[in-house]
Chain A
Amino acid sequence: MAEIAPILTMKGITKRYGGVVALRDADLEIMPGRIHAVLGENGAGKSTLIKIMSGAVAPDEGQMTLAGSNVSFTSPAAANAAGIVCVFQELSLIPDLSVADNIVISGPPTRGGMIDRKAQRKIAEQALADAGATDVHPSALVKDLPLSRRQMVEIAKALARKPRVLILDEATSALTAADVQQVFSVIKRLRQEGTAIIYISHRMHEIAELADDCTVFRNGRKIATYKAGSKTDNEVVELMIGREYKNVFPPKGTGPHEGQAAIACKGLSWAGRLNDISLAIHPGEVIGLGGLDGQGQRELLLALFGVLRGVSGEITINGRPSAASDPSEARLPGFGMALIPEDRKTEGLMLPMSIADNLCFAALDRISSRGIIDRKVAEARIGEMIELLQIKVASADLPVSSLSGGNQQKVVIAKWLMNSPRIVLLNDPTRGIDVGTKQEIYLLLRKLAASGVAILFYSTDYDELIGCCDRVLVMYGGAIVRELAGDAITEHALVSSALNIGEAAHT
């Protein structure tokens, strides 16, 4: 090991945004042919570190060397040219261009000054095959692809650049279990070929499977670097959050719930994407939605919330047949529904507007009289919500975009809680959020359930479904294929029913 020189080293890197130090005196050594996991809560400095490596921002102090020589990148293009390629958590694909256009985007093959479409097509097909995404057509427009396919294209795009250092920043967050395995085998192959890989993920089991070295960041500082496997999960999490780590999941509710369902549906179908779905959620229950990504979970939540047109079947609220015709009706007291959407940046928040404004949007009628917003009432309610969810804000008048991902998600949730909903639908609310915030969200869900709220909760994280939910409905191909309750909710059962292979095949 000793004779191999690190390909990328960072020494004393510091980056400040205004008065806030995002990264303080960070050192890091990245070895070729090894996978280096970077861990830390959101806001710990990981993103800043990645941005500096990939040339998106310049450090204020410190030195970076690549293969022995000092480098400083003025733009992502410069870093790419030097062989450092990043798969970003925020997807960097151009929606209106085709998959092939996107894959070759930074250096398309040209002939006589024009882009050589045939050569481009070949490169794209090769890259997609390398990434294991042969089901994606190179001529398809990126905006027509589902999120998980886009992420595969993003990975193919990175591979097409033949990186020396490959950075994966939450690159698997939207992928299905099968895709993740595919990507893992690609990553392992690259490691064999001598590529240095920096892997960032909030999923501990992914890091356990992949990483050779791990580095933990907290509050902008590097806390520790250690060989993978030399610390237990609990020790790692303690390093990350800097306090003792107890069980992430709060205790579950009390047994089965009887009586009137808060919301129920029978034979719900829509456009061939939802097939004959029946379910009932009682007040105080937390029901999980499981299954692979894109099996109709999102559509089910949207259908209940009145976003879809042409839904057939029956929806009952508190026993009365009534279906919301759109979100503005669903949130009225007669329905009392709230939907925490999948993509907080586009569907949950008005990013440039203030935290206070964002908090008020779903409950404007509750804080106004005769069409005029009562500032005193609004301020009081905003204060309550910030307090209740422990949103870390300097001032509620700052734009919501200035918050970290976890705190943004809290704002989305708080916005709906202000409306005192009785039915809360959540679409993967903890994606890309740090452990600490996740834990707070789990606690909150339980608290809400205890107060009589009915909760339907879609998650791509099996641990969450196991730890949080009273029952889990597993979806496949737009239908509910299995219902698990209590101790029957195990990872094994979730995975096998998500793949719709049934119990028999595995026992």
Chain B
Amino acid sequence: MNEWRYWLAENKNTLIAVALFVFMFAIYASNHPAGFTPNVVQTAANKATLLAFVAMAQSLVIITAGIDLSVGMILVLANCLASWIVVGTAIETTFGIIAVLASGAFCGAVNGLIVIFGRLQPIVTTIATGAMFYGLALFLRPFPGGSVNETVADFMTSKALGFFPMSFVALAAVVLMVWVPYSRSVIGRAAYAAGSSEHAAYMSGMPVKMAKFTAYVLSGLLSAIGGLYLTFFSYTGEAAYASGNTYTLFSIAAVVLGGVSLMGGRGSAVGAIFGALAFRTIGDLLFVFDFDPLWQPLFQGVVLLLAVSISAFGLFRVRNKLEWF
């Protein structure tokens, strides 16, 4: 009879992220000169999708109490690779897409193997591999250029049924095909367990190594999907160092906004997606309020800080100081 209370406790963080996004987007849409129209939504969606994929990637690793600082660089590498091979006939394009996704998963696998078997700190490992991935991207595209199968690209960024952004359909499909099976599998549960208490997970005989490895591989895969989408939007490949780093850092912010604990074990990729959407909306608020773009970073930082503080409000009600920590 108290079933829903336990459900609420388990999904509280994700629900807060959804609420946060709805709140931010309501402010955004109601102040947008064009109002809440399919075009406004589509533009917002296309911009947010990239970050949503990367945030999802990041959340998978953070749930295992790791961190992946190479997600942005995998995205850039996938973008550069796609600008070479996602071209030509339908069959060629299909194989190109598969190859891009496989290479992303491979990058993730490299991270995973080093972290698990090399027993190196994830933070240092992924800084190093991220630099390597960027090096490869630069090798592929020393100068911006290349192209993409425009029919596919236009379809993937269009409006389904004339009003619903296709990028969200893709996002939802990935959630259904990757996140849902993963989170309900033994491996997914082991990933949470490893993040919550690796020692206990090991002693309980859970497949901890497999779970961590899978998290890194899926992280690479999802980052590559992000890179593919970047190519669909931009029609070109570019080894952009700054944007790779930005995506990495923003993915962590989005994950935190999405209610995923940086300590591991808590939160969900769905929360991370809404965190990413909320984070993007923060950036867009600036435009509808017609601020000087120079203020954007400052403004974005302040709103981010406020948003993260919301989840800390609960601390005021804590009456046992030991629960603060």
Contact = CB atoms under 8 A, between A and B. Distances in A.
A115 B203 contact: no
A412 B197 CA distance: 24
B307 to A, nearest CB: 23
Interface in A154-172: 157
Interface string A55-69: 010000000000000
B203 A56 contact: yes
Interface in B39-58: none
A307 B320 contact: yes
A232 to B, nearest CB: 36
B316 to A, nearest CB: 10
B322 A347 contact: yes
B321 interface: yes
Nearest to A80: B205
A96 B266 contact: yes
B6 A97 contact: no
B26 interface: no
A131 B181 CA distance: 32
B185 A77 contact: no
A271 B319 contact: yes
Interface stretch (B129-137, B186-194, B238-246, B287-295): B186-194
Interface string B1-24: 011001101100000000000000
Contact of B204 (A94, A114, A307): A94
A374 interface: no
Interface in A136-175: 137, 139-141, 144, 157
A106 B206 contact: yes
Interface string A312-337: 00000000000000100000000000
A333 B195 CA distance: 42
Contact of B196 (A80, A81, A95, A157): A95
B119 interface: no
A310 B10 contact: no
B203 A308 contact: no
A429 interface: no
B6 A139 contact: yes
A392 interface: no
A114 B177 CA distance: 12
A4 to B, nearest CB: 29
A97 B318 CA distance: 22
Contact of B200 (A93, A141, A144, A299): A93
A139 B203 contact: no
Given A139-B3, A140-B6, A114 B181 contact: yes
A392 to B, nearest CB: 25
B320 A308 contact: yes
B42 to A, nearest CB: 33
Contact of B203 (A92, A95, A140, A307): A92
Contacts of A56: 203
B69 to A, nearest CB: 24
Contacts of B3: 139
A92 B205 CA distance: 10
A78 B321 CA distance: 42
B204 A106 contact: yes
Contact of B322 (A77, A91, A302): A302
Contacts of B116: none
B320 A302 contact: yes
Contacts of B192: 94, 96-97
A310 B319 contact: yes
A322 B189 CA distance: 50
Interface string A105-120: 1101010011101000
A98 interface: yes
B321 to A, nearest CB: 5
B182 to A, nearest CB: 9
Nearest to A112: B181
A56 B266 CA distance: 27
A94 B6 contact: no
A137 B184 contact: no
Interface string A286-298: 0000000000000
A307 B2 contact: no
Contacts of B185: 110, 113-115
Nearest to A271: B319
Interface string A65-105: 00000000001111111000000100111111110011001
B201 interface: yes
Interface of A: 56, 75-81, 88, 91-98, 101-102, 105-106, 108, 110, 113-115, 117, 137, 139-141, 144, 157, 270-271, 299, 302, 307-310, 326, 347
26 contacts: A78-B205, A79-B205, A81-B205, A92-B200, A94-B197, A97-B192, A97-B193, A98-B10, A105-B189, A106-B205, A108-B186, A113-B185, A114-B181, A115-B184, A137-B2, A139-B3, A139-B10, A141-B10, A299-B320, A307-B322, A309-B318, A309-B319, A309-B320, A309-B321, A326-B321, A347-B322
Given A95-B265, A115-B189, 13 more contacts: A76-B204, A77-B205, A81-B205, A95-B196, A106-B204, A106-B205, A108-B189, A110-B185, A110-B186, A139-B10, A141-B6, A141-B10, A347-B322
Interface of B: 2-3, 6-7, 9-10, 181, 184-186, 189, 192-193, 195-197, 199-207, 265-266, 318-322
